[in-house]
Amino acid sequence: MFDLVHPDHLEKLKHMFDKTVQEGIITREEILTRANSWVDLRFIPVKQVGSNMVSEVLSIYEIIAERKKAQEKLLESENKFLSLFEQTPIANAERDYSEVKEYLNNLRNIGISNLKEYFENNHDALLTCAKKIKLTGVNQAALDLFKVKTKQEFADLIPLQYLDQPPAISAFIQLIIRIDQNIYNQSTIVDLKIATGEIKRVNIVQIVPDDFKDTFGRVWTKYLDLSELKIN
């Protein structure tokens, strides 16, 4: 077995084996072979009857070359997406609404059927909902649009700080209701106060990727600045 392992993974293999022998536990790792093929390897201890001493170690492996290729392609695709996300001149953010979705389901379960009315009359509940949104990414164009410098400043500003602005509150409630209704693409225009105090008219577009439609764990948001748009 050791002769078949790529030199770069030999120490990892030895560590696995020693841990199995010394601690009597199953160990598992993805190992690269000398033939540059990936295997999913497990070491399984066999103990002496009536003793905790390991007398043998069984090795079981599965060739996972195709799985590794798929993982590498996925990583490459993700890196390309992140590059485009960061470099695009359009203000973009990515959020995780999965806890919001759970919160809305819990409200339904305790008998709250009219969420719009509930949130309009319960600002604390709306704030709780907003705090459950996790900002997972924001590009430089979005920071520039809202005149903030960091991801944390952006997270603090949107949506938390604009919940004291009636038009923004109405737009946020509408967004939450649409999530509850499993609407995966939505767009709304709202006047927002940015970090400098200036009011900007922004078209907020949200899209839920197919793989996250059950949980809303990933939601892409575009902010289109309409402030300078002249309508004839």
Say whether pLDDT at 82 is over 60. no
Indicate the pLDDT class of residue 69, thresholds 50, 70 and 90: confident
Say whether pLDDT at 46 is over 80. yes
Quick one: what percent of the chain has pLDDT higher than 90? 35
Kindly report the CATH number that applies to the domain delimited by 2-67: 3.30.450.20
Q: Please check whether residue 68 is in contact with residue 32, taking contact to mean a CB–CB distance below 8 angstroms.
A: no
Closest CA to 204 of 83, 86, 95, 81: 95
Q: How high is the pLDDT of residue 112?
A: 93
Q: Which two tokens stand for residue 159?
A: 């949506």
Q: Which of the 8 DSSP states describes residue 51? A: S
The overall average pLDDT reported for the chain is: 85
Indicate the pLDDT class of residue 231, thresholds 50, 70 and 90: very low
Q: CA-CA distances (angstroms) from residue 115 to 29, 52, 172?
A: 48, 59, 12
The average pLDDT across 40-46 equals: 88
How confident is the model over 83-98, as pLDDT tens digits? 555 667 889 899 999 9
How confident is the model over 156-201, as pLDDT tens digits? 887 766 666 677 788 889 999 999 999 999 998 888 888 888 888 8
Closest CA to 91 of 42, 163, 43, 140: 140
Indicate the pLDDT class of residue 34, thresholds 50, 70 and 90: confident
Say whether pLDDT at 33 is over 80. yes
Closest CA to 206 of 91, 69, 72, 81: 91
Q: Please check whether residue 216 is in contact with residue 200, taking contact to mean a CB–CB distance below 8 angstroms.
A: no
Q: How high is the pLDDT of residue 232?
A: 43
How confident is the model over 116-132, as pLDDT tens digits? 999 999 989 988 999 99
Lowest mean pLDDT among 11-20, 133-142, 165-174: 165-174
Residues of the chain within CATH 3.30.450.20 domain(s) are: 2-67, 88-225
Say whether pLDDT at 4 is over 60. yes
Q: How high is the pLDDT of residue 78?
A: 63
> Higher pLDDT residue, 61 or 96?
96
CA atoms within 13 A on the CB side of 5: 17
Closest CA to 69 of 37, 102, 115: 37
Q: Which of these CATH numbers, 3.40.190.10, 3.30.450.20, 3.20.20.60, 3.40.50.1000, describes 88-225?
A: 3.30.450.20
Q: How high is the pLDDT of residue 169?
A: 85
For the entire predicted model, the pTM comes to: 0.63
